[in-house]
Amino acid sequence: MSLHPITPAPDAWDAFVQAHPRAHLLQTAPWGELKAAFGWRPLRVALADSGGGIVAGVQLLLRRLPLRLGWLAYAPYGPLVDWADAGQVRALREAVDHAARQHGAALLKIEPGFGLEHVDFAAYGFRPSPQTVQPPRTIRLDLAADEETILARMNQGTRRNIRKSEKYEVEVRQGTREDVASFNALLAETGSRAEFGVHAPEYYRLAYDLFVPRGWAALLLGSYAGQDLAGVMVFRLGRDAWYLYGASSERERQRMASYGVQWAGVRWARAQGAARYDLYGVPDAAPETLEAQFETRGDGLWGVYRFKRGWGGEVVRSVGAWDRVYNRLVYTAYRLAVSRSE
């Protein structure tokens, strides 16, 4: 098959992403638009067949490196390519190399995702990266079963807290655009309490505008007596769903509203046809280490692991991040900066 590089239009690109077996939200044009509003430049590179149909491709996010040393080209959960077809992989890599260099990239970082342990990335000119952007380890729930089976897989405490949220009259609703302000207030409270960073309020407003009207996301809020106590923003593309953002208040914590909204997120994802629900991010440690230490550690993602482990999912790990170097001197400085920040 003769393939040639193209720069696809957003609608054509999204149609390709949605149909691809490795489809991921972070490879869609709206995700590129979201990141473009906060310092990144999206660049889509694809291979098309003789009829103009997209066969493989990747959405890159470009960001300037410190000291004006060039640009980082980053592919979250990409490229979308048939990794079993070496010719296709090499053709796309050549197209990406050309585009990345044209835009001044000093290095290309890819995070291809899950289930690719068989791929020899080094054979395609990549080296293991010292820095990941997305959490490499996560917990995924199997949504193919009925709700009773999904509940039965959870630990007893999680099931009990879901029922408490119902018993204690937590009302869960799908939020409107106006409700994003309430979600932002919950995020600010959570970030202050747990000492982790949150995006600017404008980020979540734009995320709502880009994804909810498309039917690709839902904002779910749990309230009692007119006060919002917890919220989640969940996303769905194809057969996968992701819990990306969540927040809760210290008020009325005995009502377990965070469990009520998370369960609502799972149910929403199933109703949209998702077969997997990604709780998105736990500490990057082996399952036995996670279980041995979760009760004593609260740093990093350890605090959220205590919550996520109870939902009955499987701990899985991606193949991590891989770098392709275009400027060795800049890359050496980058590696040094990463090592000093660890």
Q: For residues 317 and 315, what is the distance between their CA atoms, to the nearest angstrom?
A: 7
Query: In whole numbers, what is the pLDDT of the chain averaged over residues?
Result: 95
Number of CB atoms found within 10 A of residue 332's CB: 11
Number of CB atoms found within 10 A of residue 94's CB: 12
Look at residue 130 in the predicted model and tell me its pLDDT.
86
Look at residue 163 in the predicted model and tell me its pLDDT.
97
Closest of 207, 229, 205, 233 to residue 219, by C-alpha: 233
Which residues lie closer than 8 Å to 31 by C-beta, 6 or more apart?
25, 59, 210
All CATH 3.40.630.30 domain ranges of the chain, comma separated, are 4-132+319-341, 137-317
| Cis before 79 (ω within 30) | yes
Beta pairing class for 127-128 and 105-111:
unpaired
pLDDT above 80: residue 197: no
C-alpha of 341 from chain center: 23
Per CATH, the number for 4-132+319-341 is 3.40.630.30
Look at residue 69 in the predicted model and tell me its pLDDT.
82
Q: Degrees (nearest 5) of the Cα angle 230, 309, 302?
A: 80
Stretch 290-309: mean pLDDT: 89
Look at residue 34 in the predicted model and tell me its pLDDT.
98
Q: For residues 209 and 203, what is the distance between their CA atoms, to the nearest angstrom?
A: 10
DSSP class per residue in 190-214: HHHHHT-----HHHHHHHHHHHTTT
Q: For residues 141 and 311, what is the distance between their CA atoms, to the nearest angstrom?
A: 8
Look at residue 194 in the predicted model and tell me its pLDDT.
67
Please check whether residue 259 is in contact with residue 158, taking contact to mean a CB–CB distance below 8 angstroms. yes
Closest of 184, 176, 178 to residue 203, by C-alpha: 184
Q: What predicted TM-score, i.e. pTM, was given to this entire model?
A: 0.95
Closest of 276, 239, 282 to residue 136, by C-alpha: 282
Look at residue 271 in the predicted model and tell me its pLDDT.
97
Question: Which CA distances in Å does 146 have to 88, 98, 141, 151?
Answer: 39, 48, 12, 9
Model confidence pLDDT, tens digit, residues 136-159: 999 999 999 999 999 999 999 999
The conformation of residue 80, written as its DSSP 8-state character, comes to B
Please check whether residue 228 is in contact with residue 14, taking contact to mean a CB–CB distance below 8 angstroms. no
The 8 Å CB, 24+ separation contacts for 327-331 are 327/69, 327/70, 327/106, 327/107, 330/65, 330/69, 330/70, 330/106, 330/107, 331/106, 331/107
- Which CATH homologous superfamily contains domain 137-317? Gcn5-related N-acetyltransferase (GNAT) (3.40.630.30)
Stretch 242-259: mean pLDDT: 96
Look at residue 33 in the predicted model and tell me its pLDDT.
98
> To which H or E segment does residue 54 belong?
strand 54-64
Which single residue is written with the structure tokens 């090592």?
Answer: 339
Look at residue 303 in the predicted model and tell me its pLDDT.
84
Look at residue 39 in the predicted model and tell me its pLDDT.
95
**Would you mind telling me the total number of residues written for the chain in this entry?**
342
End-to-end CA distance of the chain: give it in Å, rounded: 46
pLDDT above 70 as % of the chain? 98
pLDDT above 90 as % of the chain? 89
Look at residue 66 in the predicted model and tell me its pLDDT.
83
Q: What is the phi/psi pair of residue 165, to 5°?
A: -60, -35
pLDDT above 90: residue 125: yes
> To which H or E segment does residue 159 belong?
helix 156-167
Look at residue 340 in the predicted model and tell me its pLDDT.
74
Stretch 284-294: mean pLDDT: 92
Look at residue 101 in the predicted model and tell me its pLDDT.
96
Model confidence pLDDT, tens digit, residues 63-120: 999 878 889 999 999 999 999 999 999 999 999 999 999 999 999 999 999 999 999 9
Q: For residues 306 and 294, what is the distance between their CA atoms, to the nearest angstrom?
A: 6
pLDDT above 90: residue 339: no
Q: What is the phi/psi pair of residue 162, to 5°?
A: -60, -45
Q: For residues 236 and 273, what is the distance between their CA atoms, to the nearest angstrom?
A: 9
The amino acid sitting at 308 is K
Closest of 58, 75, 133 to residue 109, by C-alpha: 75
